[in-house]
Structure 1
Amino acid sequence: MNQNKQIVIALTGATGAMGGEVLAHLLESKNNYAIRVLARNPGKARSFFKSLLKKGKNRITLVQGNITNADDVACLIEGADYVIHCAAVIPPKADHNPQNTIAVNLGGTKHIVDAIKNSGRQEEIKLVYISTVAVYGNRDYHHPWCRMGDPVMGSAYDYYSATKIKAERYVIESGLAHWVVLRQTAVYHKYFLANNMNDGLMFHTCWNAPFEWITDRDSGVLLEHLVDYDLEHKLEGFWRNDYNIGGGASCRETGYDTFNSGFGLMGASAEKFFEPHWNIPRNFHGVWYTDSDVLDKWLNYRSESSKDFWKRMAKQLWYYKLGRLVPAKLIRKFAIERLLTNSNAPQNWIRLGKKGRIDAFWGGKEAYDAFPKTWKTFPVLAKGQTPEGSIDYQALKDEANAERYKLNHGYDESKADSELDLKDMQDAAAFRGGSLVSSSVIKGDLHTALKWKCHQGHEFSSTPFAILKAGFWCPVCCEALPPETPWAFDQLSAHIPFYAQIWYDTHSKSEEHNVYPYDPHEDDDLIVSAGKL
């Protein structure tokens, strides 16, 4: 790369919580980047980015187009040295408009990869793809800790994770010379609480699920440092890899902790505003990362804790202070309870008897009926309580104890990557209930595709990196995207030990015949209610 030319960065998703911070921090860089921003409506974008456009002077170029249009994407990356792909349809919009979610999250990513391949500069352009913690699916206190290579198994009915899983694999197996996948954790941003007060999605947060947050600011710093450090030749060995993004120990908590922190600024708490059975107990996502430090060592991006974020919000947003003046009962009635009948709210599914969703999120109507309906009877992990009895919550959160919760990846992980051989590939395939079809491998070569077979007999081509290091398996039966491929992890876990080791933490073997959705029209009300998104 010519160090004397102005570096050009193509950015998608700049109007999002993460993308906006990325744009702001790239403008802070000493390297005077030229930034090409994809904008569906440049007029609205100019208004949205008014202060940044003024600050960036002539360094920001708004490229009119839609990520679902291949020609627009090709125009965006023209002349780019780096492509930072943050754009995505996320929940709750993803829940209400699956087709648009597929078009943007999967189709848009394919357009970017293909545009780089067709640019004539695929050896030069470097792609940064922002993935998500949602690819790991549901976790609880049995296995709260997660690392790269753990099973990729998005939750049922989650089109966001389903599309991100397929898009991520497309990047990993693209054959591009320079790519990196960053699995972003849950992001604290200034619209965090407000965005969750308009949809039943807030009831999808499991009280006892582990969450490792990161702040919007630290996310922006991360991407600024990535480009800065790469230009300073500090990232040798960084590319063609997959990393988990997380804020570290000071950002690890549970869903219960998170609600308490936010509502605490109003002088209230989760228990004042909610009943425990309003929120689902499983089938969402959230983990604590054992390896988010790896990316921080590369990019030195951490500066804020969860407490720091909430202190910042208390100073920045007026409605938190106003909340202290309003009785908690009124906030509960007019802000929280009104959402219980929202099409995306679990209580609405119970009311309508949506068997598929009730089974997926609760384990059945009987399980819901038996679920504790008061805080006195509900075991709160953050208080050291589980259905089985007491637990040391602080010890559970201590990374020094994470080793005991580590999942088996099915091959000899004591080996360096350069030493992984035929037996490791065969062992990994067997642990996934299948086999390696290829009869030979090049020791240590993780990026040349091999032939594999799953337990259902599907033969497929995939790189050892995708299987061993990124947690993927059969793209035919293990990557749900209805209507073509349903969510069938109950069935798959009965045959795949790699999945079973975690699936049965929150599921029963008696559920092994469940395949979601039960009815392709069961969520028509949820989709219709979205309007134009």
Structure 2
Amino acid sequence: GLKYWVSIRQTGMHPIKEGAENEPIIFHQPPNDVMEWSTAIESGIAMANLCEDWVDESFWRKAYNLSSGAKWRYANWEFTNINLAPLGLKYEDVYDPREMAIFNFHGQWFTDSKLLDDYLHFRCVDHDAYIAGMNEEVEAYMANPMIAAMMPNAEQMRAKNAQIGHKEGGFHWMFENNKEDYIKAFFGSRERQAQIKSFEEGYKLYRPSEKETYLDHGYDESKPTSELDINDMEGAAKFRGGECLSESM
């Protein structure tokens, strides 16, 4: 089979794609969902380094999670607050939890993201300095009265979100057009969406636990690939709803 392949996954890269904040993707993140972010700079270095000859042979034919480290673990509302702080705003001022998906499959904090850096040596950006620099730029704009007057306030941001919500894939669009598949994917059902509280009604923001939990994929994942045996194969097949018919490796 193919000798040199790898699957690398990330939940969020900063800065986000230009224009993404104007698309209905803004509704796909539950307020308390989590992401372990990576900077665009470090993501690029990781991609460049994996092409180098010095990458260890044991790196290949596996899957990895890419992030800039544990300091980049945020709940969605926390990271939004960092971005809104220079404007004097917070998540509750701009977003309505009743419009946000209650499911999201890709938001994760990783137990193993350091492993990818151990191989590719891409982490080089100081988290605190990066966040400070990001905020200082906006704070400098806000210090200029003429520029500050042009920056959006909470009411304008909420109005913009409403406009985005009417685009295909947005909150209002799916309900107005009876897009039941979208409604089910985002909320489970119309009834479940109707049960979501507003902030005024008591919707709570919180930071999820960082206790590490692991999935059992049916085999001993601590073993080197060369040491996996028929018992591991049988367990892996059973986990996937199948059956290993071989009697030996």
Q: 2:99 aligns with which of 278, 298, 306?
A: 278
- The SS at the match of 1:217 is helix
1:427 aligns with 2:235: yes
1:346 aligns with 2:171: yes
Asked if 2 retains the 8 angstrom alpha-carbon contact of 1:219 and 1:301, the reply is: yes
Q: C-alpha separation between the residues in 2 aligned to 1:324 and 1:236?
A: 56
Specify the code of the residue in structure 1 equivalent to 2:6.
Answer: V
Q: Give the structure, 1 or 2, with the largest relative contact order (CA under 8 Å, sep 6 or more).
A: 2
Specify the code of the residue in structure 1 equivalent to 2:100.
Answer: N
Q: 2:12 aligns with which of 171, 174, 186?
A: 186
Q: CA deviation at 1:292?
A: 0.5
The count of aligned residue pairs is 245
Q: 1:11-410 residue pairs with structure 2 within 5 A?
A: 175-189=1-15, 192=16, 194-227=18-51, 230-231=52-53, 233=54, 235-304=56-125, 307-315=128-136, 321=142, 322=147, 326=151, 328-382=153-207, 393=208, 396-397=209-210, 401-402=211-212, 405-410=213-218
Structure showing the higher strand proportion among its residues: 1
- Which consecutive residues of structure 1, in runs of 5 or more, have no partner in the other structure? 1-174, 383-392, 442-533
**Match for residue 440 of structure 1?**
248
- The SS at the match of 2:220 is coil
352 and 417 in structure 1: CA distance in 2 versus 1, 3 angstrom threshold: same
Asked if 2 retains the 8 angstrom alpha-carbon contact of 1:212 and 1:287, the reply is: yes
- Which consecutive residues of structure 2, in runs of 5 or more, have no partner in the other structure? none
188 and 327 in structure 1: CA distance in 2 versus 1, 3 angstrom threshold: closer
Q: CA deviation at 1:226?
A: 3.1
Q: C-alpha separation between the residues in 2 aligned to 1:224 and 1:193?
A: 20
Q: C-alpha separation between the residues in 2 aligned to 1:300 and 1:209?
A: 28
Give me the identity figure in percent. 30
TM-score normalised over the length of structure 2: 0.86
Q: CA deviation at 1:417?
A: 2.7
Specify the code of the residue in structure 1 equivalent to 2:22.
Answer: N
Asked if 1 retains the 8 angstrom alpha-carbon contact of 2:94 and 2:155, the reply is: no
Asked if 1 retains the 8 angstrom alpha-carbon contact of 2:30 and 2:76, the reply is: yes
Q: C-alpha separation between the residues in 2 aligned to 1:198 and 1:317?
A: 19
Asked if 1 retains the 8 angstrom alpha-carbon contact of 2:34 and 2:73, the reply is: yes
Specify the code of the residue in structure 1 equivalent to 2:40.
Answer: D
- The SS at the match of 2:191 is helix
- The SS at the match of 1:367 is helix
- The SS at the match of 2:59 is coil
319 and 348 in structure 1: CA distance in 2 versus 1, 3 angstrom threshold: farther
Q: CA deviation at 1:217?
A: 1.0
Specify the code of the residue in structure 1 equivalent to 2:123.
Answer: R
Q: CA deviation at 1:372?
A: 0.7
- The SS at the match of 2:115 is helix
Asked if 2 retains the 8 angstrom alpha-carbon contact of 1:278 and 1:346, the reply is: yes
270 and 320 in structure 1: CA distance in 2 versus 1, 3 angstrom threshold: farther
Q: C-alpha separation between the residues in 1 aligned to 2:35 and 2:149?
A: 26
Structure 1's consecutive aligned runs of 4 or more residues displaced over 6 angstroms after TM superposition are 317-320
Asked if 2 retains the 8 angstrom alpha-carbon contact of 1:276 and 1:375, the reply is: no
**Match for residue 72 of structure 1?**
none
**Match for residue 417 of structure 1?**
225
Q: C-alpha separation between the residues in 2 aligned to 1:235 and 1:212?
A: 25
RMSD: 2.6
Asked if 1 retains the 8 angstrom alpha-carbon contact of 2:33 and 2:104, the reply is: no
Q: C-alpha separation between the residues in 2 aligned to 1:275 and 1:337?
A: 10
Q: CA deviation at 1:364?
A: 0.7
Q: CA deviation at 1:245?
A: 0.8
212 and 339 in structure 1: CA distance in 2 versus 1, 3 angstrom threshold: same
Q: CA deviation at 1:423?
A: 1.4
Q: C-alpha separation between the residues in 1 aligned to 2:94 and 2:141?
A: 15
Deviation string 1:118-137 (CA, Å, 9 cap, x unpaired) is xxxxxxxxxxxxxxxxxxxx
TM-score normalised over the length of structure 1: 0.42
Asked if 2 retains the 8 angstrom alpha-carbon contact of 1:271 and 1:375, the reply is: no
Q: C-alpha separation between the residues in 1 aligned to 2:177 and 2:140?
A: 34
Q: CA deviation at 1:327?
A: 6.0
Q: CA deviation at 1:238?
A: 1.8
- The SS at the match of 2:74 is strand
- The SS at the match of 2:35 is strand
Specify the code of the residue in structure 1 equivalent to 2:109.
Answer: W
Q: C-alpha separation between the residues in 2 aligned to 1:320 and 1:258?
A: 20
Deviation string 1:350-386 (CA, Å, 9 cap, x unpaired) is 233322221221111111111112255112122xxxx
